[in-house]
Amino acid sequence: SYYTEEYRPQFHFTPEQNWMNDPNGLVYHNGQYHLFYQYNPNGTTWGFMSWGHAVSTDLVHWKHLPIALECESDSNGNVLEMFFSGSAVVDVNNTTGFAIPVGKDRRGHVINSTPMVAIYTSYYPTAHTQSNGVVIRAGQQSQSIAFSNDNGLTWTQYEGNPVIESPPAGYVDQYQNFRDPFVFWYSPSSKWIMVASLANEHTLLIYSSDNLKAWKLESQFGPENAKFGQWECPSLFPLYVDGNNRAEKWVILMGVNPGGVITGSGTQYIIGSFNGTTFVADPSDTYDPTQIPAGSIVFQNFESTSSTFKELGWKATGDFALFGPQVASSVTTQTINGNLGSGLLTTWIVDDSATGTIISPKFIITKNYISFLIAGGYYPYNPSTAGTANDNQVSFSLIVGGQVVHSQTGADAENLVWRSWNVAGWFGEEAYFIVTDLNTNSWGHLDVDEIIFSDTPKVEANWNDFGPDYYAAATYNGLPTADRIAIGWMNNWAYGGNIPTSPWRSAMSVPRKLALKTINNNVLLVQQPVSSLSSLYTPSLYSRKFSSLKSGETEIPVPAPYNARMKLTVSFKRGTGSKFGVILRSNATNTQETIIGYDFLGQNVFVDRFKSGDNAFVGSEPNQFPGHFIATLPSTLTDSITLNILLDWSSVEVFDGNGQVAFTSQIFPLDDSAQVKLFSVGGTTRTVTVAINGMKSSW
Ligand code: FRU
């Protein structure tokens, strides 16, 4: 029995064994989709990074191939070179001169190979001098190339590597954080274009080349929008707006880590124009971090001291050396419906010398959204503990009716990250915040800066996926059509090394077709699973229309084994209820369940994995895995909303009918949690249609 271990994805790509992260070198050539990937040949955690390799003719069934580029060590076992993320192209014009004769045609003319060229980051942990004389500094990241004349099976590194040794003037000190080249052929100027990241600068560099060996810096882009943590794995590609080939726009897609929409890793996109040298973001697609929604109640950033903290009237529990215990003894109730008055602060700083909790005054929820700026780490920067696990970590939670209804953890370097929580579902309820210091470092502060209560969320970026497990997304070069197909790493750096799978760790998302679509006068990047996945569908297992679904839960019979791997499409309209959705991988008592639904009041799609099974593996990053994830999706009373859901043995992917919101989430449910239910909260949901197909294994 192949690929049947606990949690082994049945229709997602996984390596047979060992650690995998980013997809690399996605290229279509001679009828094959190549998938290279960050791979550790020696273990189930990150290390010895190499390029693993697989191919497919349909993006559904994959064939494993030998490692393409393997990590190199010296005779003492020091790692000299790892092969970090990058891209691949097919050099049909032999611009590199890498082609070799592979035979003769009937007239005796030489037939040459078509070189496939990989462009990647060489990461050199150890200082050394290469055999070609190039002097390498410890920790250096440079851009290199390798080629294959047998359609990607075997690879030769170019003897002149690296082809871009260092970042340009102005950034030379960034030589350890310069990576992830994405290269494509730009036909209007007949040049290769590369976009690579200066990860800590939130800056992308755009280069051009005639031959993939000599590169000229053309321009740079950023910082812009979600400029947190590091920028990684950028790509740049054209798409037609609404399929109109006279309305081309260009899209930058990139990883942000940490500082993603949930925690840790996230994927943002920016739409704009590209003229062969320079990318310019559309003004409508850039967000000013200081812009605040109209009609907001704002608590401004304020440097706290023990006396001003006292002014807040907050109750502190735990041992905070800066403030002393129990600064204010009573918890006061305030209505957040106007100006709370002077002297109220929004910088809640806890001294970093102890773990503990601060509880806010109570307030009544009268606005739709709570947006806040959370800073974990680097305030002030603590050189002695920077980069260690939980350095300066703070979590910020909203409590309603005694329950945590939203929670956000700020991780290392996650400075100034905006988050918006929809709280319309709790209108009129009394609520309060808890700020928890999660570590015991002896120096530095943690804070939640600035809180906004408003009717619309504060937007800071366009997120490509609103779940926690879609990162380092890359797109295919060489497709015969104008289609763009993306694959993301279905994991998150916040906890990825701890997920409970063996002997492999990490899966890829299903391949997704991207498009630009005008929705409510905004051009958005939308996505749906590739249509070839339908080859795995079983005949229909369940299909039904409820003109009115009653309040409460309705169980749906789905036979094993397809109750654990299915495609479920549901459409519905608002009735008298406030929420509607689907519960998957549930047991009879709902102590285990994965909830996917729509909140008519809050106008958002949500995925909840608080009780999705094993979530105790989080290790060094507490509370990062369980969660309730939301994405705004406006609707009217008469709209029919559709959710397309793909459930596999350890993941759910959710797409709304337009593909404007997507969620990718890992789950690790127990085997006996296999029920499928519909639910409607507080009343009916109208015109509910449900269609379920099982998913056959692609292995
Ligand atoms: C993103 C990343 C890349 C890097 C690779 C190393 O997940 O950090 O920036 O090239 O992983 O494995």
Distance (Å, whole) CA 180 – CA 143: 8
Residue 199: phi and psi, rounded to 5, are -55, -45
Q: Is the Cβ–Cβ distance between 124 and 94 less than 8 Å?
A: no
Say yes or no: CB of residue 180 within 6 Å of ligand 1: yes
Distance (Å, whole) CA 590 – CA 612: 10
For the ranges 178-182, 209-213, 425-429, 522-526, which has the lowest average pLDDT?
425-429
Residue 379 Cα to ligand 1 midpoint, Å, equals 26
Omega cis (within 30) before 503: yes
For residue 376, list its beta bridge partners.
414
**CA dist 250 → 143, 179, 237 (Å):** 24, 21, 5
**Greater model confidence, 602 or 117:** 117
Residue 177 Cα to ligand 1 midpoint, Å, equals 10
Residue 272: phi and psi, rounded to 5, are -170, -150
pLDDT at residue 516 above 80? yes
Position 216 scores a pLDDT of: 98
**Greater model confidence, 197 or 389:** 197
Distance (Å, whole) CA 364 – CA 612: 31
For the ranges 472-476, 595-599, 609-613, 676-680, which has the lowest average pLDDT?
609-613
Residue 84 Cα to ligand 1 midpoint, Å, equals 6
Q: Which atom of ligand 1 is nearest to the CA of 46?
A: 12
DSSP state of 164: B
Question: What residue has token string 């003037």?
Answer: 169
Distance (Å, whole) CA 293 – CA 456: 6
Q: Is the Cβ–Cβ distance between 8 and 649 less than 8 Å?
A: yes
DSSP letters along 260-304, please?
Answer: -SSSS-EEEEEEEEE-SS-EEE-GGG---TT---TT-EEE-----
- The band of 439, judged by pLDDT with boundaries at 50, 70 and 90, is low
Distance (Å, whole) CA 497 – CA 46: 7
DSSP letters along 641-666, please?
Answer: EEEEEEEETTEEEEEETTSS-EEEEE
Say yes or no: CB of residue 120 within 6 Å of ligand 1: no
Say yes or no: CB of residue 267 within 6 Å of ligand 1: no
Q: Which among 178, 233, 253, 491 is the best mutation to test ligand 1's pocket, defined by most ligand atoms within 8 Å of the CB?
A: 233
Residue 510 Cα to ligand 1 midpoint, Å, equals 20
What the chain holds in terms of domains, given with CATH numbers, is: 19-287+465-515 (2.115.10.20), 297-454 (2.60.120), 537-695 (2.60.120.560)
Position 333 scores a pLDDT of: 34
Position 424 scores a pLDDT of: 76
58 is catalytic: no
Q: Which among 232, 265, 267, 471 is the best mutation to test ligand 1's pocket, defined by most ligand atoms within 8 Å of the CB?
A: 232
Distance (Å, whole) CA 473 – CA 235: 9
- Of the CA atoms within 13 Å of residue 416, those in its CB half-sphere come to 11
pLDDT at residue 105 above 90? yes
- CB under 8 Å to 609, separation ≥6 — which residues? 594, 615, 625, 626, 627, 629, 665, 666, 667
Sheet holding 566-574, edge to edge: 537-549, 685-695, 566-574, 641-648, 651-656, 662-666
Residues in the chain: 699
Say yes or no: CB of residue 121 within 6 Å of ligand 1: yes
156: nearest Cα among 215, 115, 207, 205: 115
- Give me the chain's average pLDDT, please: 85
Q: Is the Cβ–Cβ distance between 98 and 91 less than 8 Å?
A: yes
397-415 pLDDT per residue, tens: 888 988 887 777 654 444 4
Q: Is the Cβ–Cβ distance between 52 and 199 less than 8 Å?
A: no
Say yes or no: CB of residue 84 within 6 Å of ligand 1: yes
pLDDT at residue 491 above 70? yes
Residue 284: phi and psi, rounded to 5, are -70, -10
Q: Which among 140, 179, 230 is the best mutation to test ligand 1's pocket, defined by most ligand atoms within 8 Å of the CB?
A: 179
Residue 307: phi and psi, rounded to 5, are -75, -40
Which regions of 411-505 does DSSP assign to beta strands (E)? 414-422, 430-437, 445-454, 462-463, 471-475, 484-489, 504-505
Residue 465 Cα to ligand 1 midpoint, Å, equals 19
pLDDT at residue 62 above 70? yes
Whole-model pTM?
A: 0.86
Residue 77 Cα to ligand 1 midpoint, Å, equals 22
pLDDT at residue 118 above 60? yes
- Coil, helix or strand at residue 190: coil
